[in-house]
Structure 1
Amino acid sequence: MEHNKFAVFDNRRMVTGSYNWTTAATKYNSENCIFLTHPAQEYTKRFEYLWGMYN
């Protein structure tokens, strides 16, 4: 089962965490997210794999 929540920007920066990309999460929920640079390329590879698998 996959429940990934991440975004990669320009193959260099990424964000991951429990954060839901909704108004409720932004205003009312207690969410977490972390912005990283080092693993962005690995997350890009994972995204491309998942995209190909489910697309």
Structure 2
Amino acid sequence: MMSEISGSSANAIENSYLRQVLNANNALILRSDETTIIAEEFLNSVNLSSISDSLSL
């Protein structure tokens, strides 16, 4: 008898498949929304004033 795979199990299976396809056993698999959150957090932590000052001639 087959049973429906729960959401977290389906994600684990998909992530395992992606790691095998990409030949990256230790890869961190991120969804688009997770990548966006990480990028936003990084950009919010960057001090643009200090970057501008360091690039000034």
Same fold? TM cut 0.5: no
More helix by percentage:
2
- Normalising by structure 2, we get a TM-score of 0.30
Structure with higher Rg: it is 2
Higher RCO, 1 vs 2 (CA within 8 Å, ≥6 residues apart): 1
More strand by percentage:
1
